[in-house]
Amino acid sequence: MIFAHDTETALVSATVLVNTAAWRADDEDTLLSVADLERFLDEQGWSGARSGDEAELAAVRDLRPRLRRLWELGESELVDSVNGVLSEAGALPQLVDHDGLGWHIHAVPQDAPLATRMAVEAAMAFIDVVRSGELDRLKTCSATDCDDVVVDLSRNRSKRFCEGGCGNRENVRAYRDRQRTD
Ligand SMILES: [Zn+2]
Ligand SMILES: [Zn+2]
């Protein structure tokens, strides 16, 4: 494990959330309805309050470009952004244990708005990335036709592709290219 378990969970969850957005014209937005959000939250194991309405969906959708910026900022701007999210939300880190997850950090109450909790959880995780000097683990998918973000939690920093099947597609493409030149 590169980071604490809750940090890694938060980084992966933020990555999946960012990648629900369409970052290219030929990409597909998979967070279009309240039902889509419900599914995302269940898959990612999000606890805490949900209003399950259009306003909540809109707030979470709006959060995606802001979270994506965290992958693109240099260190000092990233620090400003993370600190900004935390102070704006009045974050107060507390150790908690629920649902058999073991001790982990919540920095806003479970009844805070979902998009706020998502932003703060990501910011808390990015704290660890910054102070460990691991910014190079924040990547963009190496596939030529994909702009999704990647968090590389592999020991040898070898992860290049997003979870959307790009690794397989690139392998197939490389194989076909080899066949063609043979
Ligand atoms: Zn928790
Ligand atoms: Zn990709």
Contact residues for 85 (Cβ-Cβ < 8 A; gap 6+): 91, 119, 120, 122, 123
pLDDT tens digits, one per residue of 13-64: 999 999 999 999 889 999 999 999 999 999 999 999 999 999 999 999 999 9
Task: Tell whether pTM > 0.85.
Answer: yes
Q: What is the pLDDT of residues 50-71, one digit of tens each?
A: 999 999 999 999 999 999 999 9
Q: How far is the CA of 59 from the centre of ligand 1 (A)?
A: 20
> For residue 181, what pLDDT is reported?
73
Ligand 2 center to residue 143 CA distance, Å?
6
Question: Residue 147 above 80 pLDDT?
Answer: yes
Q: Relative to the alpha carbon of 165, which ligand is closest? A: 2
Query: How far is C-alpha 169 from the geometric centre of its chain's CA atoms?
Result: 22
Query: Which ligand has the minimum distance to the alpha carbon of residue 27?
Result: 2
If you measure from the C-alpha of residue 106 to the centroid of ligand 1, how many angstroms do you get, rounded to a whole number?
Answer: 6
Ligand 1 centre distance from Cα of residue 147 (Å): 30
Report d(CA 13, CA 17) in Å as an integer.
6
- pLDDT tens for each residue of 60-112: 999 999 999 999 999 999 999 999 999 999 999 999 999 999 999 999 999 99
